Amino acid sequence: MFKRIVPNDGEMVTLKVEDQPVTVPAGDSVAAAVYAAGFNHFRESSISNRPRAPYCMMGVCFECLVEIDGSPNHQACMTTVRDGMSIRIQKGLRGVES
Ligand code: FES
């Protein structure tokens, strides 16, 4: 379904999505990494707990919110992967961090 359009220089990073290791090209977005790990939804809505997935992939819709290293509400499409990152599917309503 998805095809890489910009080749990378070969540098790879390894991170975890729901404790599942995945290795992706450096420079990829977290959204690309979550898809590469085989997940088809990134969060569950705060009202109905229905699965949600990225829509715009450019920082507008906020459908791609995930938890990164224990911190909620990160836009997966606007965040670049880094080695050792831990990503979790966001479930339900999250608070606002100060
Ligand atoms: S997919 Fe729309 S903000 Fe990330």
Residue 21 located in a structural domain = yes
Global confidence as pTM? 0.86
Out of 2, 77, 79, 80, mutate this one to test ligand 1's pocket (max ligand atoms within 8 Å of CB): namely: 77
Domain of 72, in residue numbers: 12-91
Residue 96 located in a structural domain = no
* Complete DSSP assignment for 7-46: ---S-EEEEEETTEEEEEETT-BHHHHHHHTT-S-SEE-T
Please return the burial class of 3, using the count of CB atoms within 10 Å of its CB with bins 0-12, 13-18 and 19+.
exposed
CA of 89 to the centre of ligand 1 (A): 14
Q: What is the gyration radius of the CA atoms in the chain, in angstroms?
A: 13
E strands in 38-85: 43-44, 51-52, 65-68, 71-75
Residue 43 located in a structural domain = yes
CATH of the domain at 64: 3.10.20.440
Residue 70 located in a structural domain = yes
Ligand 1 atom having least distance to the Cα of 61: 2
Residue 4 located in a structural domain = no
Residue 6 located in a structural domain = no
pLDDT tens series, the chain, 98 aa: 666 666 677 899 999 999 999 999 999 999 999 999 999 999 998 889 899 999 999 999 999 999 999 999 999 999 999 999 999 999 877 766 66
42 lines ligand 1 (CB under 6 A): no
Residue 44 located in a structural domain = yes
Residue 75 located in a structural domain = yes
Please return the burial class of 16, using the count of CB atoms within 10 Å of its CB with bins 0-12, 13-18 and 19+.
middle
34 lines ligand 1 (CB under 6 A): no
Indicate the number of domains in the chain. 1
